[in-house]
Amino acid sequence: MASVLVVEDDPAVRSALIRHLSEAHHTVRSVGTALEALREVAAQYLDVVILDLGLPDLDGAEALKMMRGVTDIPVIIATARDDEAEIVRLLNNGADDYLTKPFSVEQLSARLGAVLRRTQCAPQQSARAGGVQEPHDELIRVGDLSIDASRRKAALAGNFLDLTRREFDLLAFLARRPGVVVSRRTLLSEVWQQAYGDDQTIDVHLSWLRRKLGETAARPRYLHTVRGVGIKLEAPALPAPTALHGP
């Protein structure tokens, strides 16, 4: 059972989706505009969003970008648009899956189940799919940074960090490899579970993560960009000892 937000302005389609999802024992909320959807994802705990693109107040593609600014909740696009270039662009901009109308309830159930399985098991990459199997019961420490993988909690100098799911996965992946430069392609594959994507997606999440770690790209402490190579996480250098001079 999942908590699902349906964003659909067509009353008939919205009613059909609500009926099907409720019969599948999901908890369903529904709205008809992008603004209402943004309010919902900011205020409610949700497992997945089903997002139509043809909304009356704002195009769904723009709504997706705005959602990604506040949450990494899984989003399934459900629309009549079937242009391949737009599908690729939306997936690169943060959509987790894409359904073209008309679609069957069986197809929706299958896609919804697949997305939920991926997000619930995101830190564990399938070895068969070429992913890296990550341990989940260890406590990772890098400088004043500590990460409890099993409880999915992170703290800096004893202060807990309020991280999104994707931010935590990114931080934990890098922290398990302190001092190792990780390529963006590897991050897309192992953290985002995507074979391709836009570097801007990684840069945006790194920017949010840096802000929560109290640093910037210009003045990094833990997260360091190696131009043309990738990203590494390492403990800040200790200050040089002060020399003592005799009289």
Contact 119, 165 (CB under 8 A): yes
**5 - beta bridge partners?**
29, 49
Q: Which two tokens stand for residue 143?
A: 């400088």
Query: Left (φ > 0), alpha (ψ -120 to 50) or beta: where does 193 sit?
Result: left
Domain ranges of the chain: 3-120, 139-233
Contact 76, 97 (CB under 8 A): yes
Report whether CATH 1.10.10.1150 matches the domain 139-233: no
For every one of its 247 residues, what pLDDT tens digit does the chain have, with 9 covering 90 and above? 788 999 999 999 999 999 999 888 888 999 999 999 988 888 777 889 999 999 999 888 889 988 887 788 899 998 888 888 888 888 888 888 888 888 888 888 888 888 887 766 544 333 333 444 455 557 899 999 999 988 888 999 999 998 877 888 899 999 999 999 999 888 888 887 765 556 677 888 888 899 999 999 899 999 999 988 899 999 987 655 555 555 5
CATH of domain 3-120: 3.40.50.2300
Q: Which two tokens stand for residue 158?
A: 């004893």
The pTM of the whole model exceeds 0.85: no
Q: Which two tokens stand for residue 229?
A: 């190579």
Side chain identity at 184, as an amino acid letter? R
